[in-house]
Structure 1
Amino acid sequence: MKVFGLIGHPLTHSFSKKYFEEKFEKFNIKNCVYNLFDIDNIEKVADLKNEKNIVGLNVTIPYKEAVLKYLDEVSPVAEQIGSVNTIKCSKNRWKGFNTDYFGILQSIKSLPLKNIKSCLILGSGGTAKTAAFVLNEMKIDFLTVSRNKRGEGFINYKEINSETLKNYNLIINTSPVGMYPKVIEIPELPYQLLNKTNILFDMIYNPQNTLFLQKGREKGCKTLNGMEALKTQAEVSWKIWNE
């Protein structure tokens, strides 16, 4: 039996198990299971390396960066980004990849690129690093909005004003704020200052219609949730596991 799975905590928000189980059934893929490994401490990842049947893992919040030290090898892109969300497990060797890159890239490409001036990235974790890498490749200027980090390229939520939203009209939420089950939470933005020139992209896919996106649509913004990014990265993960 081939075991695939998801590492993270908590995992109540995850669609990955359902997604892959439906894939197994649709394509009549036998002898495969997809398990949820809800671990409350990253050190418990080491125990999974002793599980001989594990052939592929996805990694989600909050371990996309912390998991790096448990890997035997990291792909060049994942190493540059500093974040891993896919692991190929073969002969007790774990190799990390970043397939979020492909999901974010395809999602941004689906937006009206000619209307994008610059971007605000909400959050500063592994997904934020991936978004920053993609934006750099696409030559789209950005600022990262963080409560904790300071310095060049970072601003605080309280510093966002009408001028900021005018110049940085694409806003990508990479934080877990608003994710199930805490669906009434919302990133701290001056939503009253948004208008139809702003584009809101929420990496959250559960719920698909977050309060962040609802607030944007109320002001005429174009919006996009994280479902297509999820599907894209999942398919790239599947390809990697089966190469």
Structure 2
Amino acid sequence: MEETAKIIWNEIQTQGIRLNIWAYIFIAGISILTSIITSYAVSYFQKRAEEDVIERYFHKTLDRLVTTTKVAKEAEESIHQHFSFIERQLNEFYSPLLCSLKYVRTLGQIRVKIENVVNSISMQEYQRSPEFYDNRYKYDNKQHEEIILPVYEKMLAIFTEKYWLSEESTKEYYQEFCHFVEIWRRFHDGLPGDRIEKLDQREDLLECLENDLTKHLNDLTTELAHKDILLQQT
């Protein structure tokens, strides 16, 4: 601006240009105004460009945040669904089946202990209470029909209805357990006891099934204990 004013003044002095001083003032004002507008325009567009960059960065960051939040929510929902399924496995399948099986196997162990005691008594002891020793088979059969078989029926109903909650290794016992229960049904319906062995009634089935149920119950319980830790990491 100072240079423009000097040029105008030099022209007035050297060339003797006689112009109205107000015209020069007007020209100088236009120059100053043009300079100001140009400076403002440059500053404005620079600032606008910076704002555009910031706005684009903001939207990208926001999109990433939304995506990350969505992924985190999906992961959390997946974890909840997974552990909800485990809880159903424990509460509706493994726990009731294992508890029922332990009950009937405990009755069987008591029966074996009594049998061992009976086989070891002397004739003198037998004569003191012959009815107890003679009626033990009748009691065992009644117990099996009225208590143990209904428990087997209940277990089979759970196994059938909640089959989808069982692990793969447990599923392998389903058909064998169906066979096992059906043979005992027919036994109490009149099937001779000496025919049971010929029908391939597996003696170690209950023990193997109990081991499988116990393993999965322990594994699932341990996995369920890590639920809070996994949720904190999401």
User: Common fold, TM-score beyond 0.5?
Assistant: no
User: Comparing both structures, which one devotes a greater share of its residues to helix?
Assistant: 2
TM score, norm. by length of structure 2: 0.21
Which structure has more strand as a fraction of its residues? Answer: 1
Structure number with higher relative contact order (C-alpha < 8 Å, ≥ 6 residues apart): 2
TM-score of the pair, normalised by structure 1? 0.21
